[in-house]
Amino acid sequence: MTALATIQRLAPGFAPDIAVVLGSGWGGLTAQIQNPLRIPYAELAGFPQATVAGHSGELWLGHMGRHRVAVMSGRKHGYETGAVDGMKVPLQTFHALGCSVLVQTNAAGSVRAGIPPQSLMLITDHLNLPQRSPLVGEAGSERFVGMVDAYDPGLRQQALLIAAQHGQPLHQGVYAWFFGPQFETPAEIRMAQLLGADAVGMSTVPETILARHLGLRVLALSLITNMGAGLSQEQLSHAHTLEQAQAASDRASSLLAHVVAGLQLENTP
């Protein structure tokens, strides 16, 4: 049975307005979902099996404010298998259910002194440094996806306004995708700075490409967990990333809940 058929069987008539992908540190959002239905990824054909600490591997369906939401607690990373299309089935499923907006979150490293650890950053654009695409193998002219304003300007403006209303500082910047799973070298961080990046990480870009191919509007936020290699004395590790993400989790999840609930969408009464 396809993931779409499973969801339609377990939640008849459920049509999400917004899909949310939760990265490290953002998991507290699930506590804000009203009347949630939880479905393990193992029951959804084509959904990723969680292999990364901090990713629980569940789909949550419910409501936030006026919106119906589908929230993924955990994602597939390219570094897990080498393939970069691991999120294709989930995003295709949400699109088929009627979803129009994808909200992405991640944990990232800062390469700018003005964006310190435990900051929150709104992604304005990205650098696809591996030059890998989840659209390889697709047919037809639709595969030539325009990436200007890939991170929707209207949604970004709303997020900034909501953050200001709740007294939450929200930086803006360019996210550079490194393939991983190893952390970047100091030389690679210097390269990212020269190329105009403000933060670096190992996710998000393939999902954005897939979402734009499907016609979904994209909003993305980073939780800054560390400075890039060579920019501080801290020793980078996944455990350190999770520790820093946890320290800022309540604040990040609270802002995300306000943003998701407060977005004004054309298809929402």
Q: Measured between alpha carbons, how far is 222 from 194 in angstroms, rounded to an integer?
A: 20
Quick check: is 141 catalytic? Answer: no
Percent of the chain exceeding pLDDT 70 equals 97
Q: Where are the domains of the chain?
A: 17-262
203 as an active site residue: the answer is: yes
Q: Which amino acid is at 258?
A: H
95 is a catalytic site residue: no
Helix, strand, or coil (residue 138): coil
Q: What angle do CA 197, 248, 102 make, to 5 degrees?
A: 60
Hey, what are 102's tokens?
């994808």
What separation, in Å, do the N-terminal and C-terminal C-alpha atoms of the chain show?
Answer: 33
Verify whether residue 107 is a known catalytic residue. yes
> In the predicted model, is pLDDT for residue 235 greater than 90?
no
Single pTM value for the model: 0.94
Q: Is 79 a catalytic residue?
A: yes
- pLDDT band at residue 133 using 50, 70 and 90 as cut-offs: very high
Is 202 annotated as catalytic? yes
**Residues 140-160: pLDDT tens digits?**
999 999 999 999 999 999 999
Q: Which of 226, 229, 252, 257 is catalytic?
A: 226
Q: Is 237 a catalytic residue?
A: no
> 11, 19, 73, 77: which is the annotated catalytic residue?
77
In percent, the amount of the chain with pLDDT more than 90 equals 87
Per-residue pLDDT tens digits for 244-263:
778 788 999 999 999 999 99
Distance from C-alpha of 216 to C-alpha of 95, rounded to nearest angstrom: 8
Beta bridge mates, 217? 101
CATH level 3 topology of 17-262: Rossmann fold (3.40.50)
Count other Cβ atoms within 10 Å, centred on residue 124: 17
* HSE-up (13 A, CA, CB side) for residue 84: 22
The active-site residue, picked from 19, 24, 126, 249, is 24
* Positive or negative: CA dihedral 15, 150, 123, 201: positive
Instruction: Give tens-digit pLDDT for 160-193.
Output: 999 999 999 999 999 999 999 999 999 999 999 9
pLDDT on residue 269: 47
Mean pLDDT of the chain: 94
In the prediction, which pLDDT does 53 show? 56
Concerning whether 249 is annotated as a catalytic residue, the answer is no
